Chain A
Amino acid sequence: MRWAGSSSTPSLKGVKLVRTFGDGTTRRAALQVVDIDLFPGQLALLMGPSGSGKSTLLAVLSGLLQPDSGQVLADDDGTLRDVWALTDKEREQYRRKHAGFIFQGYNLFPALTARQQLEIVLKWGEGAGPAAAKTRADEMLDKLGLAKNRHKKPAQLSGGEKQRVAIGRALVKNPSFMFADEPTSALDWENGQKVIELLRDAAHQRGASVLCVSHDHRLLPFVDVYYHLDDGRLERRALPSE
């Protein structure tokens, strides 16, 4: 089922984003006046060579790294708000309410079970009660095909299963935006394919705006839009199917 919401209005807009690193002779522009629109229900892939500024753009758009100039306008219950005009506390609230993250490393707590990895986000983030957190965590794990792995700790899971738990942790709070940084690069293609399908489902079925940073060209057939970033300059490119 494809998400039926409107996709004509972007839910996240990067406007004239500039970000540099270093000083003087070591000064390097990671983003040189980048504009980008992300839409609800859309899986966007961001590719580019190493050091091209992909992760910087993801960090700026997700509210983790402040740009030198430009705006990040995010849909907050129907209103576009500049993420970088918010206070630190408001930005933390914005991320808590709207943002999900997946990274190359699974970064799961070694001591906690799959269910607890998800519950902790709901309990600590939303103040969900134990029963509600458990139910929602289990529902998410079931959807990710991890029903049998609820009680397993990371050491008992395969790489693909771990990444699916990490996806579950990002999705369990039903975020409007999903940011994935090289989510498949530590996985074989079979597991990588499952991961990109799950990200596509998050966009198409849940209506999330998903931005995935990757080097892997095999992901292209699964995405809705493809951006290429090189030397801090962003370019939208046609998909092979277009």
Chain B
Amino acid sequence: MSYALQTLWHERARYASGVLAVTFSAVLIALQCGLMLGLFKITSIPIDNTTADIWVGSTAVPSVDLGKPIPMSYLSRVQGTPGVTSVEPYIANFANFTRASGGTELCFLLAGQIDHGSAGAAVPLSREQLDALTLPNSIIVDESDLKRLGLDGGEGKAKINGKDVKLVGTVKGLKSLAAPWVFCSLHTARHLLGFLLPPDHVTYLLARCESPARAKEVVAELKERHAGDMGAYTAEEFSTGSRLYWLLRTKAGIAIGYAALLGLVVGSVITAQTLYSATAANAKEFAILLALGIPRWRISLMVLMQSFWVGIVGIVLSYPACLALKAAARQVGADVDLRWEVLAGTAVVTVGMALVSGLFALRSVRQIEPMTLLR
């Protein structure tokens, strides 16, 4: 075991505040980022809950809710591309929802083929629910949106774009951020949208490929051939793009960034102070080494090693804390997305913070003088 780590363990009470400060910073950063990613997952729900490999839409669609209508005739273009196994139309469009009790709400229609197993059928919908959607003007919404849409009982009929609709079922886990998702058949969507969607147009074409790897090649080929009037995206890139678009558009990243920065500043100040006082407490022992001719940089290196280990121990402690808080957040319906990129990024940033704190603590090493040992 290194002298630095040994000292850390022996004097753990002294270093505890620094370690806890690192843990606090790491938990704050990881949870903030995880919450943000969890929150913005909502924006890519239509993509993440269908089974297409490729989404074809208008050019340069920044997010799945911002696609413009494209002619159905593009279907043959996609179908004719080698590697594509099936293509089907998909409609995704905003609409006005009028509650039975009065008042309106913006909603977002999602309509694909409602055959079981089709690429556009939302995965959480059961076979029975898909069958139910074959009825004209029938819709399905997430149960968390029932109250908001006035569909939680009561008299009267709800309308979309002034046309009567009938709720035939609910799903779980497809929450909305701004406009509630409303699932229906292509036929119903065309009826409800009317002139808002030109005849023989759809919003997207969903394609499946021989393999996910093939999908990338197909997308590249479609982009090359039809760059001027058609956009093609793999499901993965379209999902990430949609999340990023709303993340940047809403400036939520800045708020998260500030919170994380605050955590870093608080953490680094406490860690630096801990390391400074711990080094000052060992000043006489270090002074002896200096008197014996040991270069000051060796002592500085030991302090930096201590700061490194403070960072590592803090990170290790933060992991179970993050998992516990993620579980607690799930209890209240919030999704914390602790993907490996978040955890790795947090680890790098906080260990870096601990090392920077170590650099600040080095001023206590500079103050050590062997002369102080003489009476």
Specify which of A56, A109, A125, A169 is in contact with B293 (CB 8 Å cutoff).
Answer: A125
Q: Is B289 an interface residue (CB 8 A)?
A: yes
* Contacts of A26-85 to chain B: CB distance below 8 A: 55-56, 58-59, 62, 64-65
Given the known inter-chain contacts A110-B11, A111-B10, please indicate yes or no for A92 contacting B373, CB distance below 8 A: no
0/1 string, B332-375, CB within 8 A of A gives 1 = 00000000000000000000000000000000000000110111
Cβ-defined contact, B291 with A55, below 8 A: no
**Chain A positions 96 through 107: 1 when the CB is less than 8 Å from some CB of chain B, otherwise 0:** 110111011101
Q: Which residues 101-159 in A have Cβ within 8 Å of B in the complex?
A: 101, 103-105, 107-112, 116, 120-121, 124-125, 153
Report yes or no: B374 in contact with A59, Cβ–Cβ below 8 A.
yes
Complex: how many Å from CA A92 to CA B290? 8
Is the C-beta of B7 less than 8 angstroms from some C-beta in chain A? Answer: yes
- Contacting residues, chain A, for B251 (C-beta < 8 A): none
Q: Which of A96, A120, A124 has the most CB of B within 10 A?
A: A124
Do the beta carbons of B293 and A111 come within 8 Å of each other?
no
What B residues does A100 contact at CB under 8 A? 292
The answer to whether A181 and B375 touch across the interface, beta carbons within 8 angstroms, is yes
Q: How far is the CB of A112 from chain B (nearest CB, A)?
A: 7
Within 8 A of A (CB), among B257-310: 282, 284-285, 287-289, 291-295, 298
B285, A124: Cβ atoms closer than 8 Å:
no
Tell which of A107, A110, A182 touches B375, judged by Cβ atoms closer than 8 Å: A182
Contact status A107-B288, CB under 8 Å: yes
B6 at the interface (CB under 8 A from A): yes
Q: Is the CB of B291 within 8 A of A109?
A: no
Q: Which of B11, B287, B289, B371 contacts A59 (CB 8 A)?
A: B371
Q: Does A170 count as interface, using CB distance less than 8 angstroms?
A: yes
Hey, which chain A residues are within 8 Å of B287, CB to CB? 107
A111 touches B291 (CB 8 A): no
Q: How far is the CB of A197 from chain B (nearest CB, A)?
A: 22
Q: What residues of chain B lie closer than 8 Å to A101, measured between beta carbons?
A: 288, 291-292, 370, 373
- CB B292 to nearest CB in A, in angstroms, measures 6
What's the Cα separation between A154 and B316 when bound, in Å? 30
In the complex with contacts A107-B285, A110-B11, A111-B11, A96-B374 CB distance below 8 A:
no
Is the Cβ of B293 less than 8 Å from the Cβ of A120? no
- Whether A64 and B371, one on each chain, are in contact in the complex, defined by CB atoms closer than 8 angstroms, is yes
Q: Which residue of B lies closest to A172 (CB)?
A: B292
- Which B residues are in CB contact (< 8 Å) with A94? 293
Q: A64-B370, A110-B11 are in contact. Are A92 and B3 (CB under 8 A)?
A: no
Whether B11 pairs with A103 at a CB distance below 8 angstroms is no
Interchain CB contact under 8 A, A124 and B371: no
Interchain CB contact under 8 A, B291 and A95? yes
Given A65-B371, A96-B294, A181-B375, check contact A121 B289 (CB 8 Å): yes
Flag A168-179 by CB within 8 Å of B: 1 or 0 each. Answer: 011001000000
Using known A-B contacts A59-B371, A64-B370, A111-B9, determine if residue A105 contacts B284 with beta carbons closer than 8 Å. yes
B299: min CB distance to chain A, Å: 8
Q: Any chain B CB within 8 A of the CB of A7?
A: no
Closest-CB distance, A217 to chain B (whole angstroms): 18
Residues of B within 8 A of A59 (CB): 371, 374
B291 touches A112 (CB 8 A): no
Q: Tell me if A120 and B289 are in contact (CB < 8 A).
A: yes
Given contacts A93-B293, A111-B10, contact A181 B373 (CB under 8 A): yes
Q: Are B3 and A120 in contact (CB under 8 A)?
A: yes
Give the chain A neighbours of B285 by CB distance below 8 A: 107-109
Known contacts A97-B293, A103-B374; A124/B298 CB under 8 A = yes
Query: What is the CB-to-nearest-CB distance from A157 to chain B, in angstroms, rounded to a whole number?
Result: 15
* Residues in B neighbouring A56, C-beta threshold 8 A: 374
Q: Is the CB of A124 within 8 A of B294?
A: yes
Q: For residue B284, which residues in chain A have a CB less than 8 angstroms away from its CB? A: 105, 107
B11 lies within 8 A of A121 (CB): no
Q: How far is the CB of A34 from chain B (nearest CB, A)?
A: 16
The 4 closest A-B pairs by CB, nearest first: A96-B293, A111-B10, A95-B293, A55-B374
Q: Would you list 20 pairs from A and B whose C-beta atoms are within 8 A, ordered by A residue?
A: A56-B374, A58-B374, A59-B374, A62-B291, A92-B293, A94-B293, A95-B293, A96-B294, A99-B293, A103-B373, A105-B373, A107-B284, A109-B282, A116-B6, A124-B289, A124-B295, A125-B292, A169-B292, A181-B375, A182-B375
